Every structure is written in structure tokens, then in C-alpha cells.
A and B are shown apart, each in its own frame.
Chain A
Amino acid sequence: MQRPLLVSVFIVASCGLAYELIAGALASYLLGDSVMQFSTVIGVYLFAMGIGSWLSKHVVGNLLVRFIQIELLVGLLGGLSAGLLFLLFTLHAGPFRFALYGLVLLIGILVGLEIPLIMRILKREVAFKELVAQVLSFDYIGALAVSVLFPLLLAPHLGLVRSALLFGLLNALVAAWALWLFRAQIGALAVLRAQCVAVIALLAVGFGFAGTFVSLAEANLYNEDIVHAESSAYQRIVVTRWRDETRLYLNHNLQFSSRDEYRYHEALVHPGLAALPGARNVLVLGGGDGMAVREILKYPQVESITLVDLDPRMTELFSQSPLLRELNGGALASPKLRIVNADALQWLEASPETFDFVVADFPDPSNHSLGKLYSTAFYRLLKQHVAETGRIVVQATSPLYARESFWTVVATLEAAGWQTAPYHALVPSFGEWGFILASRREYRPPTTIPVATRFVTPDALPALFHFPADMARIPAEPNRLDNQNLVRVFEREWGRVQAP
């Protein structure tokens, strides 16, 4: 009887670690690439396992029956965990965290019960020292197997929902196997048998339909029709359409909605460029969707535009797709435009060129790599590429939701020796959004906007530069490469916005 139980230790240990990894991966996938997700999930899980092994003392009665039931329950909860969480997230993001940690706690407790129970069962047959050694080594090997297989095979090939179901099935099969092996020592056979069959059937059906389920849920997540979805070398690109509204998501973060992107891009370009009648050469960093280029092309005096975007798939998509070309007015096909697909930092370090106007339209500083694009070092580097009378504009997240982050970027530009003119605009899809103009001399808003605009008009301009009390300047430390305090501040502020 000993060998089968040790084999189950191996499987049980694999499953135990798998649920923890799946929950962690799902949380970071859905809640963003926050460094916190994995650590909190693992913390809660370890804590729960502790509770489980402590509780195991109180498990009495027929230990085999209890073991079988616990296996079924772990299988059921663990197996369905990823699917349930995913579905819940798409329906309503609010209670997601509660459900996530609740489920992790529950599964952790049950998993914590398993090994002590097996030890107690085996104790009747094997000397204790021997027993501990054997059980623990199978436990380790099981956990090790999963930690190796998970990132290499399971997550990429099966996906999280199916992986969870697979491990759930394994747990349930262990239960069924134990039931069969020990049938002589168990009383209420029929009930347990029915429970086994039900759980296995449910999980198997789930496994079969997981694919359909995931695409249904993803559609639910976007609440719109997906017209284009691909994973480039750098990011997940999804374009959706609903009625006459087109949206772009990068890594599940909304980049623009065709309904109000003109507000964003007009605000990004015109306050700076309209005040530079002599601007000939313009540089756009990020912004592979071509919308900022579209606004810049409205200025006849601009002779050349350089667009540096990391991802060639973005610039290809926005040059080729008729739907998207319509949005940027074919800007990416302009003969004035040069497209460079490169890392902006690397490109700037190597390039000798200078520009009259530079647009830095990067993703928000949500991790240390992106944080470099908002550092004193970067803004100093930019300075070498901006003409004496030139100017830059930086998108700088929301001064309302991420107030300290916004003013951190202002402080960073100032520490790098720029004079700043911060402003903001309401873009309904994003909320109140912040921008910063920076130059070597003082900036004065232009009295006319010489090109056609719908939102940024001369009379609207002064209000943009006025910050009401709830967004007004607060003290902030510059973001240097050696502290990257912006990444922490940003994470704290947006974490608060998204929390239930």
C-alpha cells in the first residue's frame, strides 16, 4: 500500500504548487505586470498551507475517507480556480481580489492538510523516520517537476485555465485511485464513488470546453468585437470595434478610443507645436499608431518627422489596416515621415540629430524598464537632441489619479535642467490626463492655433495650464535611474485606483 501513497504524494505535491503558480500568473496577467502580484499570492498561499497543516491535527474519523474527500475538494476548487477567476474578472473587476485571495486561502488550507494526513495514514505501516524522508522527498520532487514544467510547457501550451483543470483532474484521479485501492477499509463506498465520478466528469467537460470558454470570456473582457489580435515580439496588440468606436489595447491597457483620441492627441501636440512657428524637424518617440504624426502633419512648415517606435508590428498595422489608416488619416504613409523601429533610448544614444520639437508618448512607467523613459538620465539625453529654441512634450499619466507620479515627472524634468509647463486635458476614456512641456526658455501659450482643431483652441488653452486644488503641485522627488522612485509611486497610486 505504501508505493501508491507515495506516488500520490508526488501528484499531490505537483498539484499543490501548480495552483499557487497559476493563481500568481493569473493575477499578474489580469492586474498588470505588478511585481506585487506573485509575492502576495505566494505569501497568502504559504500562510494558508500553514493553517492547513495545523488544522490537520483536528481531522478525525476514517482518515482515508477524509483524504479522498479532501482530494476531491482540492481537485474541484483548484481545477476550476483559473476559469472562475477569469470569468469573474471579465464580469466585474471589483470583487476579483477578494475572490482571488479567498480561493487561494481555501486551496492553500486544503493543500496544507494533504501531506500531514498522508503521513498519518502511512505511519501505521512505516517507521517514522523512514516515512518522513520518503514522503518529503516525493513531495519535493513533485513540486520541482511542476516548477520546471509550468513556465516551459504548461503555461505557454495549455494556458492557465486548462492547466488548472488538468491538475484538478489529477487530484480527483488520486482520490478515485485511493478509493479503489482501499475499498476494503472504507464503509460508505457508494457515496464516495458518486462524488468521484461527479467531480471527474465536471472537470473533464471543463477541460474539453475550456477553449470556447476562454474566447467567450475574452470577448466579455473587451465587451466589444475583436477585429485584430496578435502577440508581437514585445506586446499583445488587440484592436476592437463596437458600433462606430475603434479601440486599441496594448497588453490589455487601453491606448485610445476613436471616440475621444483627438482630445488626447491634440492636447499632446498643439500647445507645444503651435508656439514654434519655426519648427522644421520633429521627433515622435512611441506613438506608433500615427495619431500624433497626423496632428503634426497639419503644420505645413514641418519638413520632416521621425517616428521611433519599438514595435514594427505596430507601425505596420497602422500603415496597412484600412480601418486604422482611416483613423490616422494615412499619416504613416506621408513622404515627410521616416519610421525607425528601435529602442528610443538606444537610438537617441547613437543618433547625432537634433529636432525642434520632440513628442515623448511612452507607455506609463509601470515597471523599471519603462521607468527609464521618465528618468533624469533620459531627459538629459533628450536635451542633446533638442535645438536651442526647441521644446519637448511628455505624456505623464493622470495628475488626478496619480498626482504624485505626475509631479514626479515634472520634478524629474526640472532636475535635468528643463523649464517646465505642465498642463492637463480631459480625455473621457482615460479621465483627466497630464502632459508636460519642457524647454530651455520659458514657455508662453500661443495666442492662435494656426491649424484646424476640435478641442485645443486658443480660448481653451489657458484653462489647460491651470491646475485645480485636487491636482495642484505637490512635492516630489526626481526619478533617477538609481532610485526609480516613480515606478513605486506609480504602482501605489494606480493600485489604489484599481483596488475594489
Chain B
Amino acid sequence: MGQGAGALMRRRDFLAATSAAAALAACGSKAAPPLPPGTLSGANDVLGHRLRRPDLPVPTETRRAAVAIVGGGIGGLSAAWKLARSGCDDFLLLEMESEAGGNSRAGRNEVSAHPLGAHYLPLPPREARATRQLLAELGVLQGDPDAAHPAYDEKYLCHAPQERLYTNGYWQEGLWPTLGVPATERAQYARFQDAVAGLRQRRDPAGRRAFALPLALSSRDPQLLALDRLTMRDWLLGEGYTAPGLFWLVDYACRDDYGTAATQTSAWAGLHYFACRDGEGQVLTAPEGNAWLARGLARAAAGRVLQNALVFRVEQGRKESVCDVYLAAENRSIRVIARELIWAAPQFLIPHVFAAQRPEWLAGIRGAEYAPWIVANLTLSAAPQTRAGQPLAWDNVLHDSAALGYVVATHQQLRYAPAPTVITWYRALHEETAGHQRQLLQSRDAWAAQVLADLARPHPEIRELATRIDIHRHAHAMIRPLPGRLWGGRRRDFERGGAGIQFAHADVSGLSLFEEANYRGVLAAERTLARLGVSFASSL
């Protein structure tokens, strides 16, 4: 492609970046049509904030269980799953929301189920044994769960086409920007891919992968762990990379997995994304995102889950732990006394809930940051059109956007006729810190307008198609893997747990991923089973 074309590409780039304002100018004075209706939902802020106010009713009833699990995200549900599978039924799972699942919950309307958060699971590597075991139990992994490349149910494997990238006014195949990118830059893509392929193969003398999933099984080679001290961007620069497309893709990966820009993400975490799996990019997904996995886990805990149950005070004793639980639906509190406690709620809540603070926990939490996320579900009367390039895929990524693009909830449906659909738009507030979340607190309408403006670039007709826009806010969605947080010793005390208490949230790993939450939950359950003297076959 000639020089002129290169210049033109940049023109197109700019064109793409000129947002709603220019579109309005071009359309003349016509007033914008009203926004489609929709709701604003999110982390049960009202309830959560009550943790900080001591006006909750005093417990009027006491219940006992061998094990209490606080929090029913993937971590807590995995713990419950492992306990139940090992024949230990004497547990109670306490979940503050009206439904378990945490970040892996789903919404549902007359058109389709749709994710409110987590939406896919890459084919898990061999090391993620518990995850593979779960998939086998759900019938999705077929054959030997320990095989190098097991077969998976076609219904859950993401259907083709899996992904496309909108750049320069054009939908290209795959996520590496290639349109109008000179060969020298593409050579850098290849060099990077070779480098991560090398890291993927690399084993230490003990046979551990350089970057394993779960991360606890990774090599402790100091040279590798040192990567945790620099940012992903600095690592790229240090390796002599300059190609803007590569920086974009890596930044996209960090925002997608960690809600954090490459300028802030630990290089160890950034490389982990690329080097911990060998599934060739294939993913499992469903209309409801990862909620089918949450529900699969929850089935094992049926009858032992208390919903609308906010744990607002925990007192840890030598022999037993006491949890005070506010039952929002009944506006009363109960006391749960358990021999073993599994804490599967985010760590930042510990200072607000625990009666006695352990200095090592507080030290572990200090400086932790959480990435807020906005998830918008747009119900559309028809699938958005493709003006130029590859057809609609499951994951549709926007190059010139602070958001990540959208996934199509109906993509996995067995249907060939055109029909209404729901698309889920994702935006990590990667530039915001928990301190000033002004943007996060915007109104539903403000978010809906922003989502429409973002999507109007590839799909000018989006406003006409949208019949609903539901916004879901995650205030403290994912712990950020900032430099130093993974291997700087901060996780150690949570990893270890203590007498009568285990930690089972993805926070313990420092990477908010299904496999990590699942591993932490199962590990916590196995340690608890051992302490209770129940025999079990390890899933790890």
C-alpha cells in the first residue's frame, strides 16, 4: 500500500474518532430522538454501603453449620461445590445479592439471556484441573479431563466467526490490527507472538510452567517473578517494540482481562494473559455469559444458599466463627456460628466486617485498587448491519474506543433466520481509581447516550435498532494487578489462610479470572475438609 493510502488510513482513523458531536453536526439541527428505556442496576450499593453504617438490626436467631461461606461468586460457589461433592453437606453459603453468581451473573428478557459481567471461559489448560473437572461434570468437556486437548460440546464452543475488529471504518478478521499496517510493524507482531509462544512452552526444572493458570502453579524463577515489578508497557518498550498495533492489542488485552491499562498492569500479569493457555484462542460461551457455570456450581449447593443475606460482622474465635447476617428481604438479622469460615467476598471489605483486624491482612490490602466496570445490554430489533468487512461475530471489538466493543448474546443460539438480539457492551473504567468514580456514578441516561455514541460509529443505525438499554455498574469489579501486587508478598497471608479461616475469592490470586476464583474456592474447601477430618479426592 502506497504512502498516500497510509495517509488516508490516518484520515479514516480520525474520522472514526470524531464522535457523536460530528454526527449531530452532519445530521443538521434535527433534535436527537429520545433514549430507549432501560434500567440501572449494579453491585448492591445500598446494601453494601450499609456495612459502613452500624444501624443494622441485632440478630434474633442463631443457626449452626460446620462451614459458613461468605459470598456466592465463583469462588464461594466453587467451595460449596467441592464440599458437596465430597459429601460434606453441613454448610451455609451467605450471599448478599438476590442471586448467587457475583460477577458471573446474567440478566434475561423476552429476546435473550445476556451477561451482566463475565461472558466467556477460554479452553482451560491442563493445570486448571478443577475447572476441567467441573466442565466434565456439566457434560461440556467430553472424554478424559486430563487430556492435552479434550473435546468440548459444540454448543458451548464459540461459534464461528468468533471475533472481528473495527478499524479505519472497516471490520477486519481477528484482533491484531492489520489493515494498512506496514510489514515492519507486522514483523513485530510475529516477534511478540514467538516470544509468548516461547514463554508458553517454558518449564522450570521442577516442571512448572512459566505462567500457569491457576497462577499458584507457576514457576518461582526469580527472573520471571521480577516481571511483576514493571508495567506491561515498560516491558514492551524494554524489548524494543514500537508497533502501535502491538501496543494497542496488549493494552486491549489488559483492559479486557484486568480492567486496567497496559501502563498500569504488571508485566507478569500482562504476559500471563498470553502465555498461560494453549487453546488457540478458542473459548466457551453461552447467551448468559458465564452464568451457566455459576448455576452449574450452585446446583451442588442447592438448599444451602441464603440469598439477600449480607454478612456485616464476623468475629473469629479459636474454635468457631460468628457471622452476623442481615436478611434484607425480611429486614432482620440472624447469627450463623460455624466451625470453619470460608471468606469468598472481596478483600477490601475485611476492615469493614471483621471485628478484630489482623495487621498482616490490613498490610495485604493496603494500596489495592479495584477496576470499576460498566456493562450495557442493548436489546435490538435486528442485528446491527455490517457496512464493510467481515460479518457480525460473537466478539466485536472497537479499535478507536475507550470501551472494548460488544458481544452478541444470541450468537450461540441455534437459529439461522434474522431475529431481534441482545448485545452486551463492555467498558472498564481503566483510567479511574476507586477514589474518584465520578464517571461511574453517571445516570443511566448519560451512560446510554455514551454507549450509543460509541456504537454509532460502526453502526449508524444503532439508535433506531435499540429498544432497551440496561446499564449494569460494577463498582469494585476486579482487583487490579498493579506492579508488585502479584509477587511482592501481599497475597501471602490470604493464600495461606489461618486457623478456622480460608480465603476463596479471585482477589487471593490477584487476577480476576474464572479459573482463579474456581481454584481458590476448591482449595479453600479442600483445606476445610482436611481440618474437619472428611476424606476427599483432590481436584487440584
B160, A368: Cβ atoms under 8 Å?
Answer: yes
A140, B11: Cβ atoms under 8 Å?
Answer: yes
A42, B170: Cβ atoms under 8 Å?
Answer: yes
A205 at the interface (CB under 8 A from B): no
Centre residue among B3, B5, B386 by max chain A CB count within 10 A: B5
B282 at the interface (CB under 8 A from A): yes
CB-CB under 8 A for A24 and B388, given A46-B8, A151-B461: yes
B6, A50: Cβ atoms under 8 Å?
Answer: yes
B416, A144: Cβ atoms under 8 Å?
Answer: no
A136 at the interface (CB under 8 A from B): yes
Residues of A within 8 A of B391 (CB): 35, 367-368
Contact residues of B between 157 and 177, Cβ < 8 Å to A:
157-162, 169-170
Residues of B within 8 A of A375 (CB): 154
- The minimal Cβ–Cβ distance linking A412 to chain B, given in whole angstroms, is 11
CB-CB under 8 A for A377 and B22, given A50-B6, A234-B417: no
* CB within 8 Å: A-B pair count: 137
Residues of B within 8 A of A140 (CB): 11, 14-15, 18, 22
A147, B389: Cβ atoms under 8 Å?
Answer: no
Complex alpha-carbon distance, A202 and B406, angstroms: 46
Complex alpha-carbon distance, A373 and B461, angstroms: 29
Centre residue among B2, B22, B389, B416 by max chain A CB count within 10 A: B416
B8, A49: Cβ atoms under 8 Å?
Answer: yes
A498 at the interface (CB under 8 A from B): no
A349, B414: Cβ atoms under 8 Å?
Answer: yes
A344 at the interface (CB under 8 A from B): yes
Q: Which of A65-73, A208-216, A238-246, A480-488 contacts B (4 or more CB under 8 A)?
A: A480-488
A439 at the interface (CB under 8 A from B): no
A481, B5: Cβ atoms under 8 Å?
Answer: no
- The minimal Cβ–Cβ distance linking A152 to chain B, given in whole angstroms, is 6
Q: Which of B23-31, B50-58, B128-136, B138-146 contacts A (4 or more CB under 8 A)?
A: B23-31
Residue of A nearest to B459 (CB): A151
Contact residues of B between 456 and 500, Cβ < 8 Å to A:
460-461, 464
A194 at the interface (CB under 8 A from B): no
Residues of A within 8 A of B161 (CB): 368, 484
A152, B15: Cβ atoms under 8 Å?
Answer: no
Residues of B within 8 A of A490 (CB): none
Residues of A within 8 A of B18 (CB): 140-141, 144
Complex alpha-carbon distance, A148 and B457, angstroms: 9
- The minimal Cβ–Cβ distance linking A55 to chain B, given in whole angstroms, is 9
B25, A141: Cβ atoms under 8 Å?
Answer: yes
CB-CB under 8 A for A136 and B414, given A54-B2, A152-B461, A482-B154: no
A353 at the interface (CB under 8 A from B): no
Complex alpha-carbon distance, A372 and B11, angstroms: 38
B415 at the interface (CB under 8 A from A): yes
Residues of A within 8 A of B418 (CB): 234, 369
B299 at the interface (CB under 8 A from A): no
Residues of B within 8 A of A343 (CB): 415-417, 419
B460, A152: Cβ atoms under 8 Å?
Answer: yes
B23, A370: Cβ atoms under 8 Å?
Answer: no
- The minimal Cβ–Cβ distance linking A229 to chain B, given in whole angstroms, is 21
Contact residues of B between 31 and 69, Cβ < 8 Å to A:
none
A144, B3: Cβ atoms under 8 Å?
Answer: no
0/1 interface trace, chain B 61-97, chain A, CB 8 Å (1 if under): 0000000000000000000000000000000000000
CB-CB under 8 A for A378 and B414, given A141-B22, A480-B154: yes
Residues of B within 8 A of A361 (CB): none
A112 at the interface (CB under 8 A from B): yes
Residues of B within 8 A of A381 (CB): 414
0/1 interface trace, chain A 131-173, chain B, CB 8 Å (1 if under): 0000010011101110110011000000000000000000000
A51 at the interface (CB under 8 A from B): yes
- Please classify the interface of chain A as helix (H, G, I), strand (E, B), loop, or mixed, using the class held by over half of its residues: helix
Residues of A within 8 A of B155 (CB): 377, 481
Complex alpha-carbon distance, A144 and B160, angstroms: 31
A372, B3: Cβ atoms under 8 Å?
Answer: no
0/1 interface trace, chain B 228-241, chain A, CB 8 Å (1 if under): 00000000000000
B387 at the interface (CB under 8 A from A): yes
- The minimal Cβ–Cβ distance linking B383 to chain A, given in whole angstroms, is 10
B157, A481: Cβ atoms under 8 Å?
Answer: yes
Complex alpha-carbon distance, A49 and B5, angstroms: 7
A39 at the interface (CB under 8 A from B): yes
- The minimal Cβ–Cβ distance linking A255 to chain B, given in whole angstroms, is 17
- The minimal Cβ–Cβ distance linking A314 to chain B, given in whole angstroms, is 13
- The minimal Cβ–Cβ distance linking A260 to chain B, given in whole angstroms, is 28
Residues of A within 8 A of B321 (CB): none
B4 at the interface (CB under 8 A from A): yes
CB-CB under 8 A for A482 and B160, given A343-B417, A345-B415, A345-B416: yes
Complex alpha-carbon distance, A51 and B4, angstroms: 7
CB-CB under 8 A for A144 and B388, given A47-B1, A136-B11: no
B8, A481: Cβ atoms under 8 Å?
Answer: no
- The minimal Cβ–Cβ distance linking A365 to chain B, given in whole angstroms, is 10
Residue of A nearest to B6 (CB): A50
Residues of B within 8 A of A53 (CB): 4, 7-8
A376, B154: Cβ atoms under 8 Å?
Answer: yes
0/1 interface trace, chain A 343-358, chain B, CB 8 Å (1 if under): 1111001000000000
A317 at the interface (CB under 8 A from B): no
Residues of A within 8 A of B112 (CB): none
Complex alpha-carbon distance, A24 and B169, angstroms: 14
A482, B2: Cβ atoms under 8 Å?
Answer: no
- The minimal Cβ–Cβ distance linking A480 to chain B, given in whole angstroms, is 6
- The minimal Cβ–Cβ distance linking B522 to chain A, given in whole angstroms, is 28
B4, A147: Cβ atoms under 8 Å?
Answer: no
Complex alpha-carbon distance, A404 and B26, angstroms: 49
B385 at the interface (CB under 8 A from A): yes
Complex alpha-carbon distance, A147 and B18, angstroms: 13
A38 at the interface (CB under 8 A from B): yes
Contact residues of A between 442 and 472, Cβ < 8 Å to B:
none
Complex alpha-carbon distance, A145 and B123, angstroms: 43
Residues of B within 8 A of A136 (CB): 11, 14
- Among A367, A377, A482, contact of B282 (Cβ-Cβ < 8 Å): A482
A21 at the interface (CB under 8 A from B): yes
B390 at the interface (CB under 8 A from A): yes
Complex alpha-carbon distance, A375 and B3, angstroms: 44
Complex alpha-carbon distance, A50 and B159, angstroms: 37
A310 at the interface (CB under 8 A from B): yes
CB-CB under 8 A for A47 and B26, given A480-B154, A481-B159: no
A50, B8: Cβ atoms under 8 Å?
Answer: yes
A151, B385: Cβ atoms under 8 Å?
Answer: yes
Complex alpha-carbon distance, A112 and B11, angstroms: 13
0/1 interface trace, chain B 408-440, chain A, CB 8 Å (1 if under): 000001111111000000000000000000000
Residues of A within 8 A of B416 (CB): 310, 343-345, 369-370, 372-373
A78 at the interface (CB under 8 A from B): no
Residue of A nearest to B418 (CB): A234
A49, B282: Cβ atoms under 8 Å?
Answer: no
A481, B154: Cβ atoms under 8 Å?
Answer: yes
Q: Which residues of B contact A (CB under 8 A)?
A: 1-9, 11, 14-15, 18, 22-23, 25-27, 154-155, 157-162, 169-170, 180, 282, 385-391, 413-419, 460-461, 464
Provide 26 A-B residue pairs closer than 8 Å at the C-beta atoms, listed in order of the A residue.
Answer: A38-B389, A42-B389, A49-B8, A50-B5, A50-B7, A112-B8, A140-B14, A141-B22, A141-B25, A143-B15, A147-B387, A151-B385, A152-B461, A152-B464, A234-B417, A343-B415, A346-B415, A368-B161, A369-B417, A375-B154, A377-B414, A378-B414, A481-B155, A482-B282, A484-B159, A484-B160
Besides the known contacts A46-B9, A140-B15, A141-B26, 15 further A-B residue pairs in the complex with CB atoms under 8 A apart:
A21-B387, A39-B388, A39-B389, A39-B390, A147-B387, A148-B26, A151-B385, A151-B461, A345-B415, A367-B391, A368-B391, A372-B415, A372-B416, A482-B154, A484-B159
Q: Which residues of A contact B (CB under 8 A)?
A: 21, 24, 35, 38-39, 42, 46-47, 49-54, 112, 136, 139-141, 143-145, 147-148, 151-152, 234, 310, 343-346, 349, 367-370, 372-373, 375-378, 381, 480-484, 487
The 3 A-B residue pairs with the shortest CB-CB distance in the complex, in nearest-first order: A50-B5, A50-B4, A53-B4
